[in-house]
């Protein structure tokens, strides 16, 4: 049978959708949904940039540039953000699916369906970050949905904070979702699948933490 991709209907209920994906022979509407998701990603990130979220590092020139220059700088930032949004969307959609393909041998297209759901959830998490920043003054790693706050009480090391800040309830759900999806569609042992998914996420969080710790040094270094 043919499975038509529909992210919203996917969740109601998850079990049914999983069954249908498993049984499907062809998947339709993948590209359209992927494109929509990329556009959604651009929308979310550009919106955040317009609100100024993430612009902290470029604010040190503010007064020196004057009002006009400052706003122009933020505009460039927003443009850079669009680039990030595209790369982010593409990465989340296609790279983990590739990795899982090599491990589980499930049809790539079906894995794409899974990653589309993952991307959608991650983008919703970013949407939640917006009011957290504008109304509660909390950056992404201090989201109350993550373990970042607890980490900040325990330690002062930024990297550790960023690492635990990346581990949010959204991420935990995604882990569960991917593990469930993969075990349902593949013959690989459940224990293995869970381990692999968790390890991949740990690497992902570590990578994020590293990038966040160093990107200011990197960028500053280039233009020092």
Where does this chain bind another protein (CB under 8 A)? 49-65, 67-84, 87, 133-142, 144-147, 149-150, 152-153, 161-162, 169, 172-173, 176, 208, 211-212, 215, 218-219, 222-223
Instruction: Tell the smallest beta-carbon distance from residue 44 to another protein (Å).
Output: 14
How far apart CA 141 and CA 166 sit, in angstroms, is 6
Q: How many CB atoms neighbour CB 85 within 10 A?
A: 24
Instruction: Tell the smallest beta-carbon distance from residue 27 to another protein (Å).
Output: 26
**Nearest to 126, CA basis, from 198, 18, 37, 57:** 37
Instruction: Tell the smallest beta-carbon distance from residue 73 to another protein (Å).
Output: 5
Instruction: Tell the smallest beta-carbon distance from residue 22 to another protein (Å).
Output: 20
* Burial class (CB within 10 angstroms; exposed 0-12, middle 13-18, buried 19+) of 97: buried
How far apart CA 175 and CA 204 sit, in angstroms, is 12
Which residue, 53 or 117, is less far from another protein as judged by CB?
A: 53
Which residue, 99 or 154, is less far from another protein as judged by CB?
A: 154
Which residue, 24 or 58, is less far from another protein as judged by CB?
A: 58
| HSE (side-chain half, CA atoms, 13 Å) at 147 | 13
């Amino acid at each position: 049978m043919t499975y038509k991709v529909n992210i919203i209907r996917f969740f109601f209920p998850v079990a049914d959708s999983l069954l249908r994906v498993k049984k499907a022979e062809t998947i339709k509407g993948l590209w359209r949904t992927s494109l929509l998701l990329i556009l959604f990603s651009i929308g979310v990130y550009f919106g955040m940039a317009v609100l100024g979220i993430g612009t902290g590092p470029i604010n040190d020139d503010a007064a020196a540039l004057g009002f006009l220059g400052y706003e122009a700088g933020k505009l460039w930032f927003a443009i850079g953000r669009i680039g990030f949004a595209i790369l982010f969307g593409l990465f989340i959609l296609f790279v983990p699916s590739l990795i899982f393909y090599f491990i589980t041998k499930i049809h790539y297209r079906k894995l794409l369906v899974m990653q589309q759901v993952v991307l959608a959830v991650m983008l919703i998490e970013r949407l939640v970050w917006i009011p957290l920043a504008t109304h509660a003054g909390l950056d992404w790693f201090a989201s109350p949905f993550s373990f970042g706050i607890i980490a900040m009480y325990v330690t002062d090391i930024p990297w550790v904070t960023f690492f635990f800040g990346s581990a949010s309830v959204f991420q935990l759900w995604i882990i569960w979702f991917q593990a469930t999806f993969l075990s349902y569609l593949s013959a690989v042992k459940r224990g293995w699948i869970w381990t692999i998914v968790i390890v991949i996420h740990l690497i992902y969080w570590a990578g994020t933490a590293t990038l966040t710790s160093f990107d200011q040094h990197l960028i500053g270094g280039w233009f020092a």
